[in-house]
Amino acid sequence: MLGKLTRWLRILGYDVAYFRNMEDRKLLAIARLEGRILLTKDRALAVSGKESAYYVKADTLPEQLLELKQAFGLSFSLPPRCPFCNETLKEIPPEEARKSLPLFVALSFTTFRRCPSCQRTFWPGTHWQRIRRLCQEFLGESTSFVQEDLNSR
């Protein structure tokens, strides 16, 4: 249910594990064992998890990000992670990225990152720009991680 929030938190650089159809008890055990906070839309689960769980009140992504910023003080300076695998993306030389990308993309960007797990290549395209806009509009960030991090070269 929080899959979209998960992907965006990873893009913002947060180490986020995601499970579907797992028993509440197991979820809480993993959270405690790995020092994570269980984010959930299940209020009863959040209550039973005490300090290891957090009930996400907001329903839309921008509101959820704002809520988490207020609750946990999200930072926007972490290196981005793969939204699918949760691995920290590695910067790769443009020549290498260009081998596998459409010409338009290859010529329009200079910074590329690759996921060491799924090998997907990322660049500061429309997805990142959407995130930057969201950060600016909803989170009051005047400089975003996109500028600092992905456009830094």
Q: Which residues bind Zn ion (CB under 5 A)?
A: 82, 84-85, 115, 117-118
- Separation of alpha carbons 136 and 118, rounded Å: 30
Cβ of residue 116: shortest distance to Zn ion, in angstroms? 8
Q: How far is the CB of 117 from Zn ion (least distance, A)?
A: 5
Q: CB-wise, 39 or 89, nearer to Zn ion?
A: 89
Kindly report the number of other CB atoms within 10 A of residue 41's CB atom.
Answer: 15
Neighbour count for residue 153 (Cβ, 10 Å)? 8
CA-wise closest residue to 110 among 142, 46, 55, 153: 153
**Closer CB to Zn ion, 18 or 84, in the complex:** 84
CB of 11 or CB of 115, closer to Zn ion: 115
Q: Shortest Cβ distance from residue 83 to Zn ion (Å)?
A: 8
